[in-house]
Amino acid sequence: MKVVLFCGGLGTRLREHSDTIPKPLVNIGVRPILWHLMRYYAHYGHKDFILCLGYRGDMIREYFLKYNECMSNDFVMTRGGKHIELLKNDIDDWRITFVDTGLHSNIGQRLLRVRPYLDGEEEFLANYADGLTDLPLDEHIAEFRRRKVVASFIAVRTAQSFHCVHADDGGLVTSFGKISESEFWINAGFFCLRKEIFDYIREGEELVEKPFDRLIEQRQLSVYRYSGFWQQMDTFRDKIMYDRMEGRGDCPWMVWRK
């Protein structure tokens, strides 16, 4: 299955990095989160990628055009550097299509703009490209196919909590307490889609708003609930957390190592 990755957002909540580089290129260890996500899909045999570029898309193109396997893989050097023998490689069998989908386009419009590159595909995968998981992808795909719906996404719970406030019309607080997001399932941005999804998207629309409402009306949208590891790369705090996990070798999303 082809994999559509939405790489064009501004990443405004990760200003410490996204002012200079696009969020998909923010590193976890020595490789960007985009590489980690693509390696995850490649592990399950999905190695044909379509990158929906926008903000600083030139940097994403340049990253792959100048990709050097030796900088992140073990190798043997002989003859004073004239001969390099890679002990393993990452992206040799990947196929990557780079598409400029506009600086300010939303997700729905980015998907519409890569439709020609999905011609002939009955189904495909899509991702926000800002989070990682150890989800058994083959199980999600099997469930999607069993249900025979147009679209499916994974839903997760997060560990964040907020103070919930109730007040009367005069502005006096009547109750105050913590409510945890763990009580709710949220969209994690990992999608399985059929080609019919394009029948539900109108020009200018965001993917998960009106198009998903239409899918719901026709009972064509399903969810795969997952309670394992999932973490978004949305803020500088998330970046630090990922770096610490990588430093400890605690990387559940690296399913290819298991």
For residues 232 and 130, give the distance between their C-alpha atoms in angstroms, rounded to a whole number.
Answer: 6
In this structure, what is the dihedral angle of CA atoms 157, 132, 44, 22, given to the nearest 10 degrees?
Answer: 140
Render pLDDT for 179-188 as a digit per residue (tens, 0 to 9): 655 567 889 9
pTM of the model: 0.86
Contact residues for 13 (Cβ-Cβ < 8 A; gap 6+) = 234, 235
- What CATH architecture does domain 2-156+185-257 belong to? Alpha-Beta Complex (3.90)
Give tens-digit pLDDT for 202-250: 999 999 999 999 999 999 999 999 999 999 998 888 999 999 999 999 9
Report the distance separating Cα 144 and Cα 152, nearest Å: 6
Higher pLDDT, 199 or 91: 199
63 Cβ contact partners less than 8 Å away, ≥ 6 residues apart: 25, 32
Q: What's the whole-number average pLDDT of the chain?
A: 89
pLDDT at 180: 55
Average confidence (pLDDT) over 13-18: 50
Q: What percent of the chain has pLDDT over 70?
A: 91
180 vs 77, more confident? 77
Neighbours of 140 (CB within 10 A): 21
Q: Is residue 34's pLDDT more than 60?
A: yes
- Tokens, residue 50: 């379509």
Q: Which of 26-30, 158-162, 174-178 has the highest mean pLDDT?
A: 26-30
SS3 14: helix
Q: Which residues are registered as beta bridge partners of 98?
A: 51
Question: Above 80 in pLDDT, residue 168?
Answer: no
Mean pLDDT for the stretch of residues 109-133 = 96
The position carrying tokens 């990947």 is 94
Report the range of poorest mean pLDDT among 6-10, 27-31, 56-60. 6-10
The DSSP code for 60 is: H
Q: pLDDT for 67-76, tens place per residue?
A: 877 777 788 9
Question: What is the model's pLDDT at position 159?
Answer: 60
- State both tokens at 34: 């985009």
More confident residue, 166 or 117: 117
